[in-house]
Amino acid sequence: MGNSSKLSLALVGLILSGSLVGCSDGRAGAQDAAKQLASAVAALDVGSVAFEGKDSGGANEQLHEVFKALDPVKPVVDTGELTLDKDTATVPLTYSWKIGSGEWKYTTSAQLKKSGDKWLTVWNPATLVPSLAEGEVLGTLSQSPARAEILGAGDAKLVTYRAVVNVGIDKPRLASADPAASATQLAQLVGVDPAAYTQQVQAAGPEAFVTAITLRQDGRTITDDQIAGIPGARAIADSLPLAPTRTFARALLGTAAEANAEQIEKSGGALRAGDTTGTGGLQQQYDAQLRGSDGTQVFAEKAGLTAEERQTLLNGGRRALFQVDMKVGTPLKTTLDPNLQQLAEDILGKVAPASAIVALRPSSGAVLAAASGPGSNGYDTALLGQYAPGSIFKIVDSLAMIRNGMTPDAMVECPATLTVDGRTFKNAEGYPASSLGSVTLRDAFAHSCNTAFINARDTVSQAQLEAAATSLGVAVEAPSLGASAFLGSVPGDASGTEHAASMIGQGKVLMSPLAAAIMAGSVAKGAPVAPQLVLNPGADEAGTGAVASPSAGSTPSAGSTPSAGSTPSAPAPAKASGTPVTAAEAAALADMMRAVVTSGHTGFLAAVPGAPVGAKTGTAEFGSDNPPKTHAWIVAVHGDLAVAVFVEEGGLGATVSGPLLKEFLTAAG
């Protein structure tokens, strides 16, 4: 008996069997039978329903066959108003299926017939789907759109489809060759684990192509001839949404690849096997916007078709029932400048510890580069790092002091050491003796006198520090950024040694490299910089630009970098910004940042061509080593460019991060 005949018999069984419901005569019994039918079909499980002339298991099997192509979706089935005519009744059944991004709704009619004291459901195939004939089942065709691009400044293509080759063993091509020998040989050629790959090849079916590695076509060094020299091995051309290089802005952009089982399960039906989805960074955050949605057609076809017969019917013979049009994703536009991003990455390529360079345009807030070095191990140090800023925070101190009536020419005391509540603070090693004693605020800032700024603790409260920080655009939310980021944390309340430590950017004061660039950029702009990275975030996917706050009492380590892929917790950003920095206040700060170059310890920046450079260095101690390890910071403004350079385990900001900054500014032009 053919499959079509089996299906016909099963549907006849469904027609004849109906739902047996013990009840009194009349409308109530018919309504109960109708509701039981609707519930059973909605569950796609009629195994517990007794059928006349057909066993429940067989009926259930045939019902699954009709709707198999829609698995795992189930319909919502509701009954309408029942019409009773003596021993027969009819009831409308309204079906609703969620198909991709659309909803397939239709109404059929079920007939009920009284037999003795029970109501049977008389069911023909059209009870399942309008006009469904005996021997027909549902089929589907889906079409996925190409993933949309991620664009940079001037619509430069940061992530676009690029040519690749999937290199692997094509098992039908092995012929009599030993699968293990070929797998081992290919694994050694392309540099993957031979034991693991051999196991994959041996476990795969006889018709499988087992990918060992996917290589970019551009610049690949393993040739087709080398691959073809291994029995069963071949390279299959393909294309994937990729950045210009494997490492280009990887922590920020994320990656896109075929969805794995876990991603499919968590997607709630949005992803299916074979779909491309984003992992990490902007690719994950804006996945729905970039992915678009599949087009799906539902049709009726004869049951039991072979693959060849089905292919023939693609040219006609299928009856379309429902269609959801494919929607192409929307490209994600960002402000990243590909040349500056690559420049930053090239400069950080020689730095072993975790590191970052962030560059932005103060006038617009556009983030031009946000590079995390190889030592960050895939973590987005540039945007998410949480570190003590050290003396770059003296920009914030100085704003608070200016607001208390000081000027760059005001005199401050800079002793060699200073003791607060039993803790001794000192200046950095090599601090010039000529800048000790009574010096101008400008001179104390230029040479980064720790003791002068700690001396100001009695006139600058912790609350004033927090307000000054937010006035410069840090430790606040960044709603226009469009990406997850940490913009700094400055406690509003601290006393004693903790308040003193805050004055030199330690204690519980934390910043990311992005926050440091914003702080410097606000000086250049003469107003707080509101950073922007994503220009067209989807309505449901735009982030606040601030990392979520942790549970009460937790404080992130100032010296630790969260592991790659983890979501860091950070103190909540300030609910409200302080009074915005004014043009006059910013001019005083810019004057002192320029002095760091003209008379301080970053004289090497004087040679940078173009607009005069203003800068501030920072060296922040962390950990319990003796002597302690240090974070090396430097921030600078250069025309309409603000840059922060950070090295997690460096020496002094001037000697470690300074040369990296000079190289960046000089090449950036």
| pLDDT value of position 22 | 40
Give the residue with greater pLDDT, 474 vs 458.
Answer: 474
DSSP string, 610-647: SSPEEEEEEEEEESS-SSPEEEEEEEEEESS-EEEEEE
| pLDDT value of position 575 | 55
Q: Among residues 529, 502, 504, which one has the least CA distance to residue 517? A: 529
Question: Whole-model pTM?
Answer: 0.82
Give the residue carrying structure tokens 């916007």: 289
- For 120-147, the pLDDT digits (tens) are 887 778 889 999 988 899 999 888 899 9
Domain extents in the chain = 3-134, 150-292, 382-611
Q: Among residues 377, 335, 388, which one has the least CA distance to residue 358? A: 335
* The dihedral sign for the CA sequence 37, 42, 43, 44: positive
Q: How far apart are CA 639 and CA 633, in angstroms?
A: 20
Q: Among residues 422, 555, 544, which one has the least CA distance to residue 491? A: 555
pLDDT band with cut points at 50, 70 and 90 for residue 569 = very low
Q: How far apart are CA 513 and CA 645, in angstroms?
A: 7
Is residue 544 predicted with pLDDT exceeding 50? no
| pLDDT value of position 247 | 93
pLDDT band with cut points at 50, 70 and 90 for residue 47 = confident
Give the residue with greater pLDDT, 625 vs 61.
Answer: 61
pLDDT band with cut points at 50, 70 and 90 for residue 559 = very low
pLDDT band with cut points at 50, 70 and 90 for residue 49 = low
The answer to whether the bond into 362 is cis (omega within 30° of 0) is: no
| pLDDT value of position 158 | 98
Q: How far apart are CA 368 and CA 251, in angstroms?
A: 15
Query: How high is the mean pLDDT of the chain?
Result: 87
CATH code, residues 150-292 = 3.90.1310
Is residue 11 predicted with pLDDT exceeding 50? no
Instruction: Select the highest-mean-pLDDT range: 178-187, 309-318, 459-468.
Output: 178-187
Is residue 563 predicted with pLDDT exceeding 70? no
Range with the poorest average pLDDT among 11-15, 211-215, 318-322? 11-15
Is residue 462 predicted with pLDDT exceeding 80? yes
Q: Among residues 407, 366, 446, which one has the least CA distance to residue 606? A: 446
Give Cβ neighbours of residue 410 (< 8 Å, ≥ 6 apart): 440, 441
| pLDDT value of position 558 | 34
Q: What are phi and psi of 633, to 5 degrees?
A: -120, 155
Averaged over 547-573, what is the pLDDT?
37
| pLDDT value of position 625 | 77
Vertex 137 angle, CA 134 and 138, to 5°? 140
Averaged over 563-582, what is the pLDDT?
59
SS3 470: helix
The percentage of residues in the chain with a pLDDT greater than 90, rounded to a whole number, is: 63
Give the residue with greater pLDDT, 410 vs 550.
Answer: 410
User: What's the first-to-final CA gap in the chain, in angstroms?
Assistant: 80
- For 408-430, the pLDDT digits (tens) are 999 999 988 888 887 888 887 77
Per the DSSP assignment, residues forming a β-bridge with 235 are: 167
The percentage of residues in the chain with a pLDDT greater than 70, rounded to a whole number, is: 88
pLDDT band with cut points at 50, 70 and 90 for residue 571 = low
pLDDT band with cut points at 50, 70 and 90 for residue 53 = low
Q: How far apart are CA 287 and CA 35, in angstroms?
A: 41
- For 339-356, the pLDDT digits (tens) are 999 999 999 999 999 999
Averaged over 636-651, what is the pLDDT?
93
**Maximal C-alpha separation, the chain:** 112
- For 60-113, the pLDDT digits (tens) are 888 899 999 998 899 999 999 999 998 999 999 999 999 988 999 999 999 888
Is residue 8 predicted with pLDDT exceeding 90? no
Q: Which fold has domain 3-134?
A: Nuclear Transport Factor 2; Chain: A, (3.10.450)
SS3 211: strand
| pLDDT value of position 207 | 93
Helices (H), 558-598: 583-598
User: Are 41 and 128 within 8 A, CB to CB?
Assistant: yes
- For 577-613, the pLDDT digits (tens) are 679 999 999 999 999 999 999 999 899 999 999 999 9
| pLDDT value of position 590 | 97
pLDDT band with cut points at 50, 70 and 90 for residue 23 = very low
Q: Which fold has domain 382-611?
A: Beta-lactamase (3.40.710)
Instruction: Select the highest-mean-pLDDT range: 9-18, 334-343, 420-429, 656-665.
Output: 334-343
DSSP string, 106-148: EEEEEEEEEETTEEEEE--GGGTSTTPPTTEEEEEEEEPPPPP
The tally of CA atoms less than 13 A away on the side-chain side of residue 631 is 34
